[in-house]
Amino acid sequence: MRMAAIQLEPVIGDVAANLERSEHLADAAAAAGAEWIVLPEFFTTGAAFREDLAGAALAPDGAATDLLRDLARRHGATVGGSFLCRDPDGEVRNAFLLSDPDGRILGRHDKDLPTMWENCLYVGGEDDGILQAGDLTAGAAVCWEFMRTQTARRLRGQVDVVVGGSFWWSIPPWPPRTVFKRLEAANARTAAIVAERFARFVGAPVVHAAHCGPFECRLPWMALPYRGIVQGGAVIADAGGRVLARRDRREGPGFALADVQPGRVPPADALPDGFWLHPRGAIPTMMWHYQREHGRRWYATHTRGRPPLQVRPAAHEALPR
């Protein structure tokens, strides 16, 4: 089964532009024969500490869902991706939706824990992330869910393929530059291996979409601005963790494409005892705690309860059903 992991260079906060870019890349992957197409986390917005993102969440049946369904019908493919989704209760969640080739939404997974400044943008979910796609059982995982033991435990031995994606940002070159350069090198190494290692923890192939490119924003409770990159690394790995296709961030937007044999095998690696599958490093650990505390307060006053963003859908030709 030919599968594609999209690598997107987003325009932070510009939903219409990101929908258009996602569509073009998915169309190109389908033209290359992809039967499954996976868009990255936050494919509608990217992620940053910016107030405009508080109002950028779409309705569950809005433009992002329409795009997934339209792409699936147009190409006879299974298509998924995650976006900021504002539910009828007024809360925003990081929702991964999967559409079958007939344009039916097969299910949804809400990322369990927001990462760092993401606490400003959405609240976590509690589902198991297991979605039935015809004869295949798919497991959904989003960004740092690939880092957590609890994610591997809920999917381990239960799914035939894992689909998801990341928006994984870099550690900036702050002074002392030698120290922060070393910290970023470790961060980049973890980002590069997290998908293939997850396959070994779960015992199923992984299709991991990604973002790439530079971006900047403010930092909560700090005078320093953030200027960095999204790590990129669209990766497809088999159930044993062997990389079948990879698109490096320096290659820019595009996709990784590979023929994948779905199916579960005995996991190659035992799960660690701790909460994390990989060490986070000192700076990410500090950011995790202080930005979580800040983000929950910020979300309550800036994000919760706003109306969904209305985006004019792109004009498509009539699609066969």
Residues whose CB falls within 8 Å of the CB of residue 263, separated by 6 or more in sequence, listed in order: 160, 204, 205, 239
Determine phi and psi for 102, rounding to 5 degrees. -90, 0
Question: Residue 315 — very low, low, confident or very high, per pLDDT cuts 50/70/90?
Answer: very low
Which pLDDT score is estimated for 158?
Answer: 97
pLDDT digits (tens, 9 = 90+) for 78-112: 999 999 999 999 999 999 999 999 999 999 999 99
Report d(CA 296, CA 319) in Å as an integer.
42
Which pLDDT score is estimated for 222?
Answer: 87
Kindly report the pTM of this predicted structure: 0.95
Provide mean pLDDT across the span 182-206: 96
Which pLDDT score is estimated for 313?
Answer: 52
Provide mean pLDDT across the span 222-249: 95
Smallest CA-to-CA distance from 68 within 77, 76, 59, 79 is with 79
Smallest CA-to-CA distance from 277 within 157, 194, 210 is with 194
| pLDDT cut 90: percent of the chain above it | 92
- Give the chain's domains with CATH numbers: 2-302 (3.60.110.10)
pLDDT digits (tens, 9 = 90+) for 49-80: 999 999 999 999 999 999 999 999 999 999 99
DSSP secondary structure string for all residues of 241-297: S-EEEEE-GGG-SEEEEEE--------SSPPPSSSBSS---HHHHHHHHHHHHHHHH
Report d(CA 35, CA 274) in Å as an integer.
37
Residue 317 clears pLDDT 60, i.e. is over it:
no
Structure token digits, residue 256 = 């990784």
pLDDT digits (tens, 9 = 90+) for 164-184: 999 999 999 999 999 999 999
Which pLDDT score is estimated for 320?
Answer: 36
pLDDT digits (tens, 9 = 90+) for 244-270: 999 999 999 999 999 999 999 999 999
Question: Residue 203 — very low, low, confident or very high, per pLDDT cuts 50/70/90?
Answer: very high
Report d(CA 61, CA 134) in Å as an integer.
22
